[in-house]
Amino acid sequence: MNFSSKILEEAVNALATLPGVGKKSALRLALHLVQDTSRKSERIAAALLKLETDIKKCSICFNISDHDTCEICMIPSRNQNVICVVESARDVMAIEDTGQFKGRYHVLGGVISPLEGISPQDLYIDQLLSRIKTEGIEEIIMAVSPTIEGETTIYYISKLLKDSGVKVSIIARGVAFGGDLEYADELTLGRSITLRTPYDVQT
């Protein structure tokens, strides 16, 4: 691309480091910002700087937080005996959006993946174990992705907890609500038959 401005070129290169943003999209965004007269660049820049400097990880659950302890861990009315174990802060948001879980979370920061060089030591697994010991946890719900890496992580953690008396459960897998059966993949459909649940006629 033939930039007539170094400043524009730098902005395009910076924006193109974002995931899913190519050079052409970055150029479109940068030109939009150049043409904008409402100081949008300034507002975005300020927000990104705050993201860099002010955001913390909750010291209890490692969720994203503005304070040392996150908003969820600070709510005393939430069930203190159940922990939902997730990969990332995004998953906490997704589960919170459902409104179906009233316990607390633990963000692992990823899943065990030998291929990507992520070992158990790179995740907040030790911290999870010490929470389980000190907080009187009765159940952990493993809400990680149903991938090979996710399954490995579930296996690893549940093995560590085998003799601890803590109940380990996993979120239900099966065909998605509203999805067409013919589009479900074979593995999911096959498993959903093996893992079928009794049907309750509600009266």
Binding site for a copy of itself (CB under 8 A): 1-8, 10-11, 13-15, 17-21, 25, 27-34, 39-52, 54-55, 63-66, 70-72, 88-90, 92-93, 96-97
Beta carbon of residue 173, minimum distance to a copy of itself (angstroms, whole number):
23
Q: Which is nearer to a copy of itself, 18 or 148 (CB)?
A: 18
- DSSP H or E segment with residue 106: strand 104-107
Beta carbon of residue 195, minimum distance to a copy of itself (angstroms, whole number):
29
- CA 112/CA 126 separation, integer angstroms: 13
Long-range contacts of 160-163 (CB under 8 A, 24+ apart): 160/125, 160/129, 161/129, 161/132
Bridging pattern class, strands 56-57 and 82-86: unpaired
Residue type, 140: I
Beta carbon of residue 49, minimum distance to a copy of itself (angstroms, whole number):
5
Q: Which is nearer to a copy of itself, 66 or 126 (CB)?
A: 66
- Joined together, the tokens standing for residue 107 give 């963000």
Q: Which is nearer to a copy of itself, 29 or 118 (CB)?
A: 29
Beta carbon of residue 94, minimum distance to a copy of itself (angstroms, whole number):
9
Bridging pattern class, strands 56-57 and 104-107: unpaired
Q: Which is nearer to a copy of itself, 7 or 148 (CB)?
A: 7
DSSP code of residue 177: T
